[in-house]
Amino acid sequence: MLKETRKTDPEVAALVDEELDRQEHNIEMIASESTAPLPVMELSGSVFTNKTLEGYPGARFQAGSHVADKLENLACERAKALFGADCANIQSYSGSTANYSIYASILEPGDKILSMRLDQGGHLTHGSPANWVSKIYNFEFYSIDKETELIDYDGMEAKAKEFQPKLIIAGASSYSRLIDYERISKIAKEVGAYFMVDMAHIAGLVAAGVIPSPIPYADFVSSSTTKTFCGARSGMVFCKKEHEKLLKKGTFPGALGSMHLNTMAAKCWSFKYAASDEFKAIMKQVVANAKCLAQELTNYGFRIVSGGTDNHLLVADLRNKKITGKTFQNALDAVGITVNKNMVPFDPEKPGVTSGVRIGLTAVTQRGLKEPEIKEIAAIMNQVANAPEDEANLAACKAKAEALIAKFPLYPAGLSVIKQTSKFHR
């Protein structure tokens, strides 16, 4: 790997080596991250990248499509079978563009959308003032309940009746609990709205059957194919049969241009892999590890938002520990544990500071960490939180974190070529 790059551009090859080294020696706990299996890396760099193609199998704008047609058909069939969906459109380039293609399929400028408050877990593409969608559509937001820190479904229903949205969106970037899709689909039906679920974060857990699927309840389901799905840096959309034509048109030419056939090939591989016992076991362990970390941190006096987790992530409220999200993120980074600062519900701190951190368990679980190691990580986190500016404390924590992760290679059986030639490899 990187053979040609090493010869022609050692500078960029060195950056890849350096990033590999960073990932290898860090405990990566960003909730949206995972490790792409080697076939995903191979296929993402395959000759399919050379082919420009627009349209759909049987109705292409360019010639030379017969092989790509077979690929897209195979990938769609695998995706539908994996998720039990009527229709799959896998032309999206990412989770964000997957959302844009749904909007392009069913909405007109000025249409109303009801989505989750962004500071309580919603995503930029669900109506952030900083995202272009807020200039085109009219957004209103539902909240979580202050006491339980779960979605306030009664409040959502009241808002939906008052606001009369054309679309209701469920799905979040930092919500650690199961979502009651059945309840939201009833609310959507009552007000005559489409119901869309953005399962970007949880698609791997859904594919593995570890948590309930939104597919039976939603008109449209969008997703990234990274995050818990552990695949290519890309996206996908599912819909009910009656919306298939709308989604096709909304995706191309509505929202996208030519397909990224290289990542489509990688997604095709992932749709097969995600049905394997190996993947299902990893996803089961991801949730077990997340529950374990939530419990351990609670034992150390951290407050976990909503009291725990049902999925791959948790949000720790640090106010008991008298530190901010920013300070904790930076101190953990210094010891080789990567998390991100995150607003807690009704957070008094600014978004750049925050009272919490979001912690994800997917990448470490892929490396083989189980409950005993998760307990060690919780102990290190607690030690860091107790003295985040004490250099000696951070050095001691760093030594513990490095020793722990060294036992679990990022790519146990692979990437030896990169490793052998990396000057950074220790």
Ligand X SMILES: Cc1ncc(COP(=O)(O)O)c(C=O)c1O
Binding site for ligand X (CB under 6 A): 32, 94-96, 123, 125, 171-173, 198, 200-201, 224, 235
Q: How far is the CB of 202 from ligand X (least distance, A)?
A: 9
Alpha carbons 72 and 264: distance in angstroms, whole number: 7
In this complex, which beta carbon is closest to ligand X, that of residue 21 or of residue 33?
33
Instruction: Quote the Cα angle for 38-41-44, to 5°.
Output: 145
- The residue of the chain with the least Cβ separation from ligand X equals 95
Q: How far is the CB of 336 from ligand X (least distance, A)?
A: 23
In this complex, which beta carbon is closest to ligand X, that of residue 223 or of residue 383?
223
In this complex, which beta carbon is closest to ligand X, that of residue 226 or of residue 327?
226
Q: How far is the CB of 200 from ligand X (least distance, A)?
A: 4
Alpha carbons 99 and 220: distance in angstroms, whole number: 10
In this complex, which beta carbon is closest to ligand X, that of residue 201 or of residue 312?
201
Q: How far is the CB of 388 from ligand X (least distance, A)?
A: 26
In this complex, which beta carbon is closest to ligand X, that of residue 169 or of residue 384?
169
Q: How far is the CB of 23 from ligand X (least distance, A)?
A: 18
Count, residues in the chain = 426
Residue the block writes with tokens 């020793």: 403
Q: How far is the CB of 172 from ligand X (least distance, A)?
A: 6
Instruction: Mention every residue, 6+ apart, whose C-beta is less than 8 A from residue 168.
Output: 113, 114, 115, 156, 160, 184, 187, 188, 191, 193, 194, 195, 196
Q: How far is the CB of 92 from ligand X (least distance, A)?
A: 9
What is the C-alpha R_g of the chain? 22
Query: Cα 106 from chain centroid?
Result: 24
Alpha carbons 68 and 62: distance in angstroms, whole number: 11
In this complex, which beta carbon is closest to ligand X, that of residue 92 or of residue 422?
92
In this complex, which beta carbon is closest to ligand X, that of residue 128 or of residue 138?
128
- Show the tokens assigned to 160: 């939906």
In this complex, which beta carbon is closest to ligand X, that of residue 173 or of residue 270?
173
In this complex, which beta carbon is closest to ligand X, that of residue 32 or of residue 262?
32
339 in Cβ contact with 358 (< 8 Å): yes
In this complex, which beta carbon is closest to ligand X, that of residue 19 or of residue 154?
19
Q: How far is the CB of 235 from ligand X (least distance, A)?
A: 6
Q: How far is the CB of 236 from ligand X (least distance, A)?
A: 10
Alpha carbons 119 and 129: distance in angstroms, whole number: 12
In this complex, which beta carbon is closest to ligand X, that of residue 96 or of residue 185?
96
Q: How far is the CB of 313 from ligand X (least distance, A)?
A: 10
Q: How far is the CB of 283 from ligand X (least distance, A)?
A: 18
Give the residue among 274, 220, 268 at the shortest CA–CA distance from 100. 220
**How many C-beta atoms lie closer than 10 Å to residue 223's C-beta?**
31
Alpha carbons 312 and 80: distance in angstroms, whole number: 23
